[in-house]
Amino acid sequence: MQDQVAAAGEHNKIRLRHLVSDRSVGAMFGLGFSSGMPFLLVYITQSAWLSEAKVPIALLGLMSELTLAYKFKFVWAPFLDRYDAPLFSRLLGRRRGWIVLSQIGIMLSLIGVAFGDPAHWLAWTVGFSLALGFAGATQDITIDGWRITVAPQERQALMSSWSEIGWRFGNLAAGAGALYLADAFGWRAAYLCMAALMAPGMIAALLAPEPESDKTAHSEPLDIVATIVNPIKDLMRRLGPPAVLILLMVAGFRMPGYISNAMAIPLFKSLHYSDSDIATVTKLFGFGVALGGTLGAGYVIPRIGMMASLLAGTVFASASHLSLAYLAVHGDHGGGEFWLFATTVSIDSFAYAFASIVLITYMSSLTSTDYAASQYALLTSLCALPGSFLAGASGFIIERMSFEWFFVGTSLIGIPVALLAWYLWHTHKRGRLPATSG
């Protein structure tokens, strides 16, 4: 058994040579890059443009709803699993066809946003931002489906890690990169450059190997009910009796992180850290630390196993919020607290990245080849929705308690999730879980 684990660990080491020696890994990095760009450009980066255009703060809050496509992508994901993309799937296969079509949609939407004027015609910006969110979520669905079907289970930790590395570079480009470009050349130039930066992802999709399951064209008659219901039935059947507990753990795994993230920036501002300090620590310094968490997860998973990694991930991620609680108490005493700030963000960023890779790999193991995109989209939506909705109440909670007790509370939320992970781990060791969840 130890020899098998060691062999799996050697097989999954995150090395730069994988980018040139393995077509699927190189493509995964490029696709991860293009996947990391649209979400920020739908709202978070765009909110800086809208603020400069004097869009009322109430409307700025409502604009966050433009990202809902990412939360509800499970609704149309089954159709991407079952039906081919017009024209492109004939040339590239089903999943790569959808990837390229969605990337074209992202580029056109970004160009549309670029030629808008939110100060005088906000409806134009809203319309193209909605299209951008839908195209970006569709790209994520199909990239995840490709990743799961192109590589065997023992390679999923490696593929997930390179996907996350690419995603973080794309996120950096769409965040700090777009802001620097806007400051130097204006928002139109920034969004046009972001459209051009989708090209590496499109090249990656064209050069990516085609999964065996995609080589047969699908042209079944449209059956809406069966298309939506069959992936869910298949997932529940394969998970068996522990299905409800597994889904509860997935739903709760990132809940503490979603809730705490909503109040992280308000905490930093309340402690009087400057915008430049926050940008330096969270976007630049934190970028490298998060990459370390990504690489760490790719190293650990094949060595200690999937279920043990899940337990470690949820404990580590939830406990990391105690560092934010400590910062809330000790971070505003003047002078030397910058490195306390940097250390706190580093702990939280490393833990979040580590837990994310563990969860991505686990959710990938739960899906079947036939329904990879739809089942993975369902699981990611299940993971995101509870925490996202609860995060909306975080400001009201802060009004009634201090920041430190808020972050202590988000850390404690992880306890029942950790207990679920521990129970499922030991159930798995006794052979009572299906092989797909191992």
CATH number at 203 reads 1.20.1250.20
Give the helix/strand (H/E) hosting 362. Answer: helix 338-366
Model confidence at 151, pLDDT cuts 50, 70, 90, reads: confident
Which tokens go with 245?
């507990």
| 329 or 105, greater pLDDT | 105
Q: Closest Cα partner for 373 from 120, 81, 41, 106? A: 81
Residue 438: per-residue pLDDT: 38
Residue 15: per-residue pLDDT: 55
Q: How far apart, in whole angstroms, are the C-alpha atoms of residue 38 and residue 11?
A: 32
Model confidence at 182, pLDDT cuts 50, 70, 90, reads: confident
Mean pLDDT of the 208-232 span:
72
Instruction: Tell me: pLDDT of 3 over 50.
Output: no
Residues 216, 354 share a domain: no
Contact between 226 and 124 under an 8 Å Cβ cutoff? The reply is no
Q: How far apart, in whole angstroms, are the C-alpha atoms of residue 289 and residue 123?
A: 39
Residues 211, 278 share a domain: no
Residue 135: per-residue pLDDT: 96
Task: Classify residue 102: in a domain, yes or no.
Answer: yes
| 373 or 391, greater pLDDT | 373
Number of structural domains the chain divides into: 2
| Buried b or exposed e, range 116-154, using 16+ CB within 10 angstroms | bebeeebeebbebbbbbbbbbbbbbbbbbbbbbbbbeee
The answer to which of 27-41, 106-120, 283-297, 380-394 has the lowest mean pLDDT is 380-394
Contact between 402 and 211 under an 8 Å Cβ cutoff? The reply is no
Task: Classify residue 403: in a domain, yes or no.
Answer: yes
Of the candidates 222, 246, 280, which is a domain's last residue? 222
Residues 263, 165 share a domain: no
- The domain in which residue 61 lies consists of 19-222
Model confidence at 431, pLDDT cuts 50, 70, 90, reads: low
Helix (H, G, I), strand (E, B) or coil at 125: helix
Helix (H, G, I), strand (E, B) or coil at 370: coil
The answer to which of 6-10, 43-47, 379-383 has the lowest mean pLDDT is 6-10
Residues 88, 49 share a domain: yes
Q: How far apart, in whole angstroms, are the C-alpha atoms of residue 174 and residue 216?
A: 36
Residue 216: per-residue pLDDT: 59
Instruction: Tell me: pLDDT of 99 over 90.
Output: yes
Q: What angle do CA 32, 35, 38 make, to 5 degrees?
A: 150
Query: pLDDT (tens digit, 9 = 90+) per residue, 35-44?
Result: 999 988 987 7
Query: pLDDT (tens digit, 9 = 90+) per residue, 50-64?
Result: 877 887 755 665 676
Residues 169, 303 share a domain: no
Of the candidates 182, 197, 222, which is a domain's last residue? 222
Helices then strands (H, E): number in the chain? 26, 0
Residue 139: per-residue pLDDT: 96
Residues 172, 241 share a domain: no
Q: What is the DSSP letter of 401?
A: S
Give the helix/strand (H/E) hosting 349. Answer: helix 338-366
Task: Classify residue 14: in a domain, yes or no.
Answer: no
Contact between 46 and 190 under an 8 Å Cβ cutoff? The reply is no
First to last CA, the chain: 15
Residue 220: per-residue pLDDT: 59
At how many degrees (to 10) do helices 156-172 and 286-304 cross?
A: 170
Task: Classify residue 4: in a domain, yes or no.
Answer: no
Helix (H, G, I), strand (E, B) or coil at 324: helix
Of the candidates 222, 241, 259, which is a domain's last residue? 222
Instruction: Tell me: pLDDT of 20 over 60.
Output: no
Task: Classify residue 3: in a domain, yes or no.
Answer: no
**Greatest mean pLDDT range, 103-117, 162-176, 219-233:** 103-117
Instruction: Tell me: pLDDT of 8 over 50.
Output: no
Q: What is the DSSP string of 181-245?
A: HHHHH-HHHHHHHHHHTTHHHHHHHHHSPPPGGGSS---PPP-HHHHHHHHHHHHHHHH-TTHHH
| Buried b or exposed e, range 276-292, using 16+ CB within 10 angstroms | ebbebbbeebbbebbbe
Mean pLDDT of the 361-368 span:
90
| CA 97 to chain CA centroid, nearest Å | 22
